[in-house]
């Protein structure tokens, strides 16, 4: 009997999947592959049910003879093991980033005369609604909040990108790239104080108040599902910080990062060029402890950011603070540096990991930007934050457009580098 293989990356079965099984049955024994969580989060979106439950779900379907786990996005291993006569897939993978995976399957099958069968993708209201319901579930505070902790367990390093509006949130949510046949996307969203302030034309000195910062969070949560890490600056007065923690939890934010500074906070990338005061270890510890005591959900994280390297207080001070902050209840440590060379960051990570194997480490490689995610992960870093690159790329583009329109007294000269009118009016999906 011939074998037919299909890979599912879904938590919910709809008419489209049933149709694939129905078509597959015509060719032989039907084997369904279940993608692992690690692969799903790169390929599609975060699963809402466990791999075990997905396997059970696929097994329960009429017409499915066997379910196997597919570990990798590319089919190499699975095709080598199963050697199916046919692979069956919806025709929706012909275009865009998934087309490389399709091509890889075609190449693999051609090595032994296997065949690819493509069935028309099922577009109907029911399928659309099921998809929207899944997205809705992922965006709910209860589900979204805990996802950062889940990602830290799942990923070698959690890739986090800055957003400061609904539109930039959508870019972080939806950008997927294909490289060497594999898809990749960001895991989480950083709401930067620098970019949130810059967007409002204000300096990054805790001038934009929490009500306004929360409004930015809402703009982003309305159109995204990925977990959010909020830049809480100094956290403000401890008496205020406890309320901030509760509000962030309620909104479904996964983590707040607070830095060990006090008084008038300035952006860390100024370093010692401006007057900045570091809080004492005791002051910071009591703020962390108060935040942890106020927290009501299990999943929310308070991450303590150490400014010792920025303020040139030395490695020993940075490490002493890190251990003290963890002891006070911090769920993670962010270590910052404004050096171009990552050496001091890596030294900190190695020394911290020497004594603490588990507390998540966060870094923001704006200055030390030559380091790769793999290198950071190898030194024990769990979360990397690209803190300001979207803002810094948008600003020069907008500025140049404004200058050229002034220069030429019309808009024709700038048009070639702009998104088309058609694309901008259709950019945002309507219900």
* Closest alpha carbon to 363 in 2, 372, 354, 355: 372
Determine the residue with CB nearest ligand SPV. Answer: 192
Q: Between residues 245 and 390, which has the closer beta carbon with respect to ligand SPV?
A: 390
Could you say which of 85, 187, 204, 331 is catalytic?
A: 204
Q: Between residues 64 and 191, which has the closer beta carbon with respect to ligand SPV?
A: 191
Task: List contacts with Mg ion (CB under 5 A).
Answer: 193-194, 231
* Closest alpha carbon to 186 in 218, 163, 209: 163
Residue of 333, 388, 390, 391 that binds ligand SPV (CB under 6 A): 388
Sheet holding 86-90, edge to edge: 66-70, 29-35, 3-8, 86-90, 115-119
Q: Where are the beta strands (DSSP E) in 51-136?
A: 66-70, 86-90, 115-119
Q: Between residues 24 and 334, which has the closer beta carbon with respect to ligand SPV?
A: 334
Residue 270 contacts residue 236 (beta carbons within 8 Å): no
Residue of 258, 364, 376, 384 that binds ligand SPV (CB under 6 A): 364
Residue of 269, 289, 320, 394 that binds ligand SPV (CB under 6 A): 269
In angstroms, give the least distance from the CB of 385 to ligand SPV.
7
Sign of CA dihedral 123, 124, 126, 129: positive
In angstroms, give the least distance from the CB of 268 to Mg ion.
7
Q: What's the rounded Cα separation, in Å, for the pair 250 and 260?
A: 25
Choose the binding region for ligand SPV from 41-49, 92-100, 176-184, 264-272 (rule: CB under 6 A). 264-272
Q: Is 209 a catalytic residue?
A: no
Residue of 98, 268, 276, 359 that binds ligand SPV (CB under 6 A): 268
Interacting residues with ligand SPV between 139 and 168 (CB under 6 A): none
Residue 196 contacts residue 213 (beta carbons within 8 Å): yes
* Closest alpha carbon to 361 in 385, 344, 328: 385
Choose the binding region for ligand SPV from 87-95, 121-129, 247-255, 265-273 (rule: CB under 6 A). 265-273
Q: What's the rounded Cα separation, in Å, for the pair 272 and 311?
A: 6
Q: Between residues 6 and 388, which has the closer beta carbon with respect to ligand SPV?
A: 388
Residue 269 binding partner per list Mg ion, ligand SPV, none, with a CB distance cut-off of 5 to 8 Å that depends on partner kind: ligand SPV
Q: Between residues 37 and 199, which has the closer beta carbon with respect to ligand SPV?
A: 199
Residue 147 contacts residue 46 (beta carbons within 8 Å): yes
Residue 41 binding partner per list Mg ion, ligand SPV, none, with a CB distance cut-off of 5 to 8 Å that depends on partner kind: none
Choose the binding region for ligand SPV from 64-72, 119-127, 134-142, 262-270 (rule: CB under 6 A). 262-270
Count interface residues toward ligand SPV (CB under 6 A).
Answer: 12
Q: Where are the beta strands (DSSP E) in 176-290?
A: 176-179, 182-185, 188-191, 228-231, 255-259, 261-262, 277-278
Q: Between residues 197 and 225, which has the closer beta carbon with respect to ligand SPV?
A: 197
Q: Which two tokens stand for residue 318?
A: 């940075």
Strand 301-306 versus strand 277-278 pairing type: unpaired
Does the protein bind ligand SPV through residue 260 (CB under 6 A)? no
Q: Give, in order, the Cα–Cα distances in Å from 366 to each of 68, 91, 173, 312, 336.
A: 42, 41, 21, 18, 10
Q: Between residues 134 and 157, which has the closer beta carbon with respect to ligand SPV?
A: 157
Q: Which two tokens stand for residue 173?
A: 């949510």
Torsions phi, psi of 317, nearest 5?
-65, -45
| Runs of H (alpha helix) within 298-383 | 315-327, 343-355, 373-378
Residue of 194, 228, 279, 309 that binds ligand SPV (CB under 6 A): 194
Q: Which residues bind ligand SPV (CB under 6 A)?
A: 192-194, 204, 231, 267-269, 364, 366, 387-388
Catalytic residues: 204
């Amino acid at each position: 009997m011939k074998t037919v293989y299909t890979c599912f990356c879904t938590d919910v079965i709809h008419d489209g999947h049933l149709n694939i099984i129905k078509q597959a049955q015509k060719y032989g024994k039907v084997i369904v592959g279940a993608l692992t969580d690690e692969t799903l989060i790169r390929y599609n979106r975060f699963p809402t049910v466990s791999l075990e439950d997905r396997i059970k779900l696929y097994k329960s379907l009429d017409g499915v003879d066997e379910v196997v786990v597919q570990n990798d996005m590319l089919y190499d291993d699975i095709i080598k093991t199963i050697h199916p006569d046919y692979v069956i897939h919806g025709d929706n993978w012909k275009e865009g980033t998934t087309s490389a995976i399709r091509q890889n399957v075609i190449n693999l099958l051609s090595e032994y005369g296997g065949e690819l069968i493509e069935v028309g993708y099922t577009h109907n209201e029911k399928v659309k609604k099921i998809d929207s319901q899944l997205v809705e579930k992922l965006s709910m505070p209860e589900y979204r909040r805990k996802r950062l902790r889940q990602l830290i367990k799942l990923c070698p390093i959690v890739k986090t990108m800055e957003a400061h509006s609904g539109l930039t949130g959508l870019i972080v949510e939806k950008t997927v790239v294909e490289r060497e046949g594999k898809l990749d996307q960001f895991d989480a969203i950083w709401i930067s104080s620098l970019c949130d302030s810059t967007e409002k034309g204000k300096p990054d000195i805790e001038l934009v108040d929490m009500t306004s910062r929360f409004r930015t969070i809402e703009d982003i949560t309305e159109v995204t599902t990925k977990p959010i890490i909020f830049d809480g600056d100094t956290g403000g007065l401890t008496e205020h910080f406890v309320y901030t923690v509760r509000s962030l939890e309620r909104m479904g934010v996964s983590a707040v990062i607070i830095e060990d500074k006090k008084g008038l906070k300035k952006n860390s990338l100024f370093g010692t060029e401006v007057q900045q005061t570091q809080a004492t270890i005791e002051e910071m510890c009591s703020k962390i402890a108060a935040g942890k005591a106020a927290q009501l959900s299990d999943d929310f994280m308070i991450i303590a950011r150490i400014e010792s390297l920025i303020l040139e207080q030395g490695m020993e001070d940075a490490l002493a603070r890190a251990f003290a902050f963890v002891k006070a209840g911090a769920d993670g440590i962010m270590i910052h540096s404004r050096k171009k060379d990552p050496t001091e960051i890596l030294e900190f990570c190695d020394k911290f990991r020497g004594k603490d194997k588990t507390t998540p480490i966060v870094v923001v490689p704006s200055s030390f930007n030559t380091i790769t995610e793999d290198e950071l992960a190898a030194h024990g870093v769990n979360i990397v934050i690209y803190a300001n690159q979207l803002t810094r790329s948008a600003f020069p583009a907008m500025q140049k457009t404004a200058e050229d329109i002034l220069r030429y007294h019309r808009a024709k000269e700038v048009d070639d580098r702009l998104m088309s009118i058609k694309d901008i009016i259709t950019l945002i999906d309507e219900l």
